[in-house]
């Protein structure tokens, strides 16, 4: 029997881990290269939603105005650091050009199949591999305090139903507090997406590590990719501080860091770090049983079996890894406006991470222009968890030359 081909997956987040899993299943020898610790960056403290309902990208009508407001205040969910405006300008202009319904439809059509396939693949993975990740398919609630905004969402619901078959149910008054007794009475209403699920992201990453290791995948931590050795349009090895590692194929799943590798990859991808925060704590006494997005402040609530997370906000401030206390307070204040017991004890983690934000919300998955055996899987924006399994499977199919389970064209690098 011939020796299996060796794939080096660069990046130990959800996208690298899922790619490694499906590649190992397809018979490849796989090594994951991680510059820090496996699963500790964006894939660690996120809100844990696996959300096929999230078809609409961030770039949509009205966002430019919100972004401008967010340059003047730290009391908004979307914040742009004014001192970064020049370096962000090309990305922001691309983003602004997508804030219309034609572009929203195009992004939705690209992301919908990947979201659908990923949700199904997660179910199969959890069942077949016995993964314990605190997985629930109870749905996701979009909660409104403001009557006008609640009613206005009807239009988005109708649009999502018509074009993507994704439908929500409205709840108001006593029906809403009966459904979710943790909410304060007197809110305007909520829309429930039953198609969504949620899990505990850090547990997902540790369970993936367990099955990857059992499948023979080697995980090298504190080992950054420094460069690629290339000959005649092919990468022959990845270069690390401890020396080169030979590879037949390379998958670059480096999330928000991907643009920093533009010289190696031969392409400048439109990805910016979109910083988000979360606070993880013990469950409050009257804990929500449904995950929910508090729509006016865009704060997300995720109940876990043995914990509770308040998260979100979007800050464009470059590669700044500091924890901004004002942003953490923003999460606490937001939760207090909607929930009877908004916070729990003790706080176990205050965290921030960088979403790999593309200007159009479409991830980039495909062959790098410079080397035909280098594959990029990055730019999953606010939905990397929701798109993890579908992306990993697609990467394995593209490398092995199998018929892809979904059309790869919308994600290609060109
Ligand atoms: C507050 C918050 C809430 C979120 N909530 C959700 C949610 O509910 N649902 C959802 O679907 N998505 C959510 N997201 C988005 C999601 O977390 C990301 O889209 C996803 O984690 C991106 O995964 P990734 O593997 O591409 O990136 P990462 O998890 O960041 O992994 C990339 C890895 O590459 C490594 N790396 C980078 N450069 C190199 C190099 N040169 N050499 C070696 N390694 C390298 C990094 O160290 C990192 O570990 C949320 C994000 C945030 C911040």
β-bridge partners, 136: 198
Which value, in Å, is the radius of gyration of the alpha carbons in the chain? 21
Whether residue 72 is predicted with pLDDT greater than 70 in this model: the reply is no
pLDDT at residue 253 in the model: 98
Q: How far apart are CA 207 and CA 39, in angstroms?
A: 11
Whether residue 75 is predicted with pLDDT greater than 80 in this model: the reply is no
Whether residue 1 is predicted with pLDDT greater than 70 in this model: the reply is no
User: Which has the closest alpha carbon to 210: 136, 5, 42, 202?
Assistant: 202
pLDDT at residue 66 in the model: 76
Domain residue limits, the chain: 6-411
Whether residue 240 is predicted with pLDDT greater than 70 in this model: the reply is yes
Ligand 1 centroid distance, CA of 158 (Å): 31
pLDDT tens string 146-191: 999 999 999 999 999 999 999 999 999 999 999 999 999 999 999 9
Portion of the chain with pLDDT greater than 70, in percent: 99
Residue closest by Cα to atom 21 of ligand 1: 43
Ligand 1 centroid distance, CA of 186 (Å): 37
pLDDT at residue 195 in the model: 97
Tell which atom from ligand 1 comes closest to the C-alpha of 313. 1
pLDDT at residue 71 in the model: 66
User: Which has the closest alpha carbon to 314: 11, 34, 42?
Assistant: 42
Ligand 1 centroid distance, CA of 63 (Å): 23
User: Averaged over 23-35, what is the pLDDT?
Assistant: 98
Phi, psi of 206 (to 5 degrees): -75, -30
Residue closest by Cα to atom 25 of ligand 1: 13
Query: 42, 133, 309: which to mutate for ligand 1, most atoms within 8 A of CB?
Result: 42
For the chain, give the mean pLDDT. Answer: 96
pLDDT tens string 348-391: 999 999 999 999 999 999 999 989 999 999 999 999 999 999 99
Distances (CA, A) of 393 to 68, 71, 104: 39, 39, 25
> In this structure, are residues 278 and 351 in contact, taking their beta carbons and an 8 Å threshold?
yes
Q: How far apart are CA 295 and CA 319, in angstroms?
A: 27
Tell which atom from ligand 1 comes closest to the C-alpha of 226. 41
pLDDT at residue 40 in the model: 98
Portion of the chain with pLDDT greater than 90, in percent: 92
Q: pLDDT band for 5, please (50, 70, 90 cuts).
A: very high
Give Cα 265 distance to the centre of its chain.
22
Query: 9, 10, 13: which to mutate for ligand 1, most atoms within 8 A of CB?
Result: 13
> In this structure, are residues 58 and 362 in contact, taking their beta carbons and an 8 Å threshold?
no
Ligand 1 centroid distance, CA of 44 (Å): 8
| pTM given for the model | 0.97
Lookup: tokens for 277: 């925060």
Ligand 1 centroid distance, CA of 254 (Å): 8
pLDDT at residue 412 in the model: 96
CATH class of the domain comprising 6-411: alpha beta
> In this structure, are residues 271 and 358 in contact, taking their beta carbons and an 8 Å threshold?
yes
Q: Give ligand 1 pocket residues (Cβ under 6 A).
A: 10-16, 33-36, 41-43, 46-49, 224-225, 253-257, 276-278, 311-312, 353, 355-356, 378, 380, 382-386
B/e letters for 24-59, b = 16+ CB within 10 Å, e = fewer, are bebebbbbbbbbeebbbbbbbbbbbbbbbbbbbbbb
Tell which atom from ligand 1 comes closest to the C-alpha of 38. 49
Q: What is the helix (H) or strand (E) element at residue 243, kind and residue range?
A: strand 243-246
Whether residue 67 is predicted with pLDDT greater than 90 in this model: the reply is no
User: Averaged over 260-273, what is the pLDDT?
Assistant: 95
Ligand 1 centroid distance, CA of 99 (Å): 24
408 contacts: CB under 8 Å, gap ≥ 6: 365, 366, 394, 398
Whether residue 402 is predicted with pLDDT greater than 80 in this model: the reply is yes
Higher pLDDT pick, 59 / 208: 208
Lookup: tokens for 190: 């909520």
pLDDT at residue 155 in the model: 94
128 contacts: CB under 8 Å, gap ≥ 6: none
Whether residue 78 is predicted with pLDDT greater than 90 in this model: the reply is no
Q: How far apart are CA 278 and CA 323, in angstroms?
A: 10
307 contacts: CB under 8 Å, gap ≥ 6: 200, 280, 281, 282, 283, 344, 348
pLDDT at residue 16 in the model: 99
């Amino acid at each position: 029997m011939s020796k299996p081909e060796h794939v080096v997956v660069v990046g130990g987040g959800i996208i690298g881990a899922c790619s490694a899993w499906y590649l190992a299943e397809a018979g490849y020898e796989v090594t994951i290269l991680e510059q820090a610790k496996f699963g500790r960056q964006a894939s660690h403290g996120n809100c844990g939603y696996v959300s096929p309902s999230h078809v609409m990208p961030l770039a949509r009508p009205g966002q430019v105005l919100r972004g401008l407001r967010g340059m003047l205040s730290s009391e908004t969910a979307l914040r742009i650091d004014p001192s970064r405006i020049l370096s962000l300008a090309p990305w922001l202009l691309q983003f602004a050009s997508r804030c219309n319904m034609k572009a929203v439809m195009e992004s939705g059509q690209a992301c919908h199949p990947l979201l659908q396939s990923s949700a199904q693949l997660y179910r199969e993975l959890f069942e077949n591999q016995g993964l314990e990740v605190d997985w629930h398919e109870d749905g996701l609630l979009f909660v409104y305090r403001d009557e006008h905004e609640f009613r206005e969402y009807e239009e988005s619901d109708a649009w999502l139903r018509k074009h993507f078959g994704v439908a929500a149910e409205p709840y108001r008054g006593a029906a809403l507090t009966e459904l979710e007794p943790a909410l304060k009475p007197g809110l305007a209403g909520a829309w429930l997406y039953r198609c969504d699920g949620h899990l505990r992201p850090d547990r997902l990453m540790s369970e993936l590590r367990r099955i990857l290791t059992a499948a023979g995948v080697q995980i090298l931590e504190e080992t950054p990719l420094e460069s690629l050795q290339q000959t005649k349009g092919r990468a022959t090895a990845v270069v690390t501080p401890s020396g080169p590692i030979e590879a037949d194929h390379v998958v670059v799943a480096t999330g928000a860091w991907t643009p920093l590798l533009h010289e190696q990859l031969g392409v400048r991808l439109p990805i910016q770090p979109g910083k988000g925060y979360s606070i993880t704590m013990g469950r409050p006494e009257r804990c929500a049983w449904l995950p929910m997005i508090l729509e006016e402040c865009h704060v997300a609530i995720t109940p876990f079996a043995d914990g509770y997370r308040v998260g979100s906000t979007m800050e464009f401030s470059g590669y700044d890894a500091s924890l901004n206390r004002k942003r953490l307070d923003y999460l606490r204040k937001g939760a207090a406006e909607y929930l009877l017991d908004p916070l729990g004890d003790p706080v176990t983690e205050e965290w921030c991470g960088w979403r790999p934000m593309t200007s159009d919300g479409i991830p980039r998955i495909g062959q790098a222009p410079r080397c035909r055996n280098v594959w990029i899987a990055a730019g999953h924006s606010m939905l990397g968890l929701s798109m993890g399994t579908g992306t990993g499977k697609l990467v394995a199919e593209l490398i092995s030359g199998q018929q892809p389970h979904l059309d790869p064209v919308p994600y290609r690098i060109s």
